[in-house]
Amino acid sequence: MSKMIANRRVTINNPQGLHLRPGELFVRLAAQFESQIEVISGDRRVDGKSLIDLCTLGATQGMELEIEASGPDAEAALEALAELIQKASVDDMLAEQ
Amino acid sequence: MKFSDFVCNAAIRPELKAQSKDEVVREIAGALAEAGEVAEEELDSIVKAIMKREELGSTGIGRGVAVPHTKHPSVNQLVGTVGVSHEGLDFKSLDGEKVQLFFLLISPPDRPGDHLRALENISRQLRDDTFCRFLKQAKSVSDITQLLEEADNNQFSS
């Protein structure tokens, strides 16, 4: 199977920022995909399947991040993760699942 | 944000005695009360709030580290401390591993940015294996304060 790489820019809409709870939901969703997931903020690039890594971004509301997925299910992963991370609250995130 | 911006040295506990999740939260939060960082009469309410947050999902983030936290109206600024359990204990971590390092954070309800910056600092430093290992081996308050100081001076991590 060919290796797909897909990128998408997203904005953090949660007033609380990307704190542990939304971070955990993101990591759990990312883990469901085979693709490697990376999250990029400026010149920093971290593992989107690691909660500690994600926390190092300190992403506050309004911050723009780039999600990069590479692997056979890259597009599907990107679609799901971008939708999740842009939710305004953890409750909204959970409602989708 | 640096450790020195939120870690109360007087509340650092290098030899936690707790054996369970409930006990360790109470022990660390109690250390903040003993140090005068949170009001003694608010301790029960703070512990309850932290445990309620844990019910939503463990703050055991992996690598033997947990960041139990809550917002609480009784504090005017972010306060926190560090505790080490040499044996480690079951904190229902995401990776299922025992937790040895605890960073407790209590923030005022209206300051989500400070909490995020503390979390950012803690996670960045913990990605460094040396820092993580040394902290787990720390035997005294001064071992821990020295490590935190070195981390604040960028002697670990990227």
Residues B149 and A96: beta-carbon distance below 8 Å: no
> Which residues numbered 79-118 in B keep a CB inside 8 Å of some CB on A?
94, 112-113, 115-117
Q: Delimit the domains of chain B by residue range.
A: 3-152
**Chain-centre distance for alpha carbon A49:** 9
Supply the CATH classification number for the domain A5-96.
3.30.1340.10
Q: What's the gap in Å between the CA of B123 and the closest CA on chain A?
A: 5
**Chain-centre distance for alpha carbon B93:** 14
Partner-chain residue, chosen from A19, A20, A56, that has the shortest CB–CB distance to B127: A56
Q: Is B54 helix (H, G, I), strand (E, B) or coil?
A: helix
Q: Delimit the domains of chain A by residue range.
A: 5-96
Give, for all 158 residues of chain B, the pLDDT tens digit. 999 999 999 999 999 999 999 999 999 999 999 999 999 999 999 999 999 999 999 999 999 999 999 999 999 999 999 999 999 999 999 889 999 999 999 999 988 899 999 999 999 999 899 999 999 999 999 999 999 999 999 888 65
**pTM higher than 0.90, yes or no?**
yes
In the block, residue with structure tokens 């005022």: B108
Query: What is the second-level CATH architecture of the domain B3-152?
Result: 3-Layer(aba) Sandwich (3.40)
Per-residue tokens: B65: 């580290």
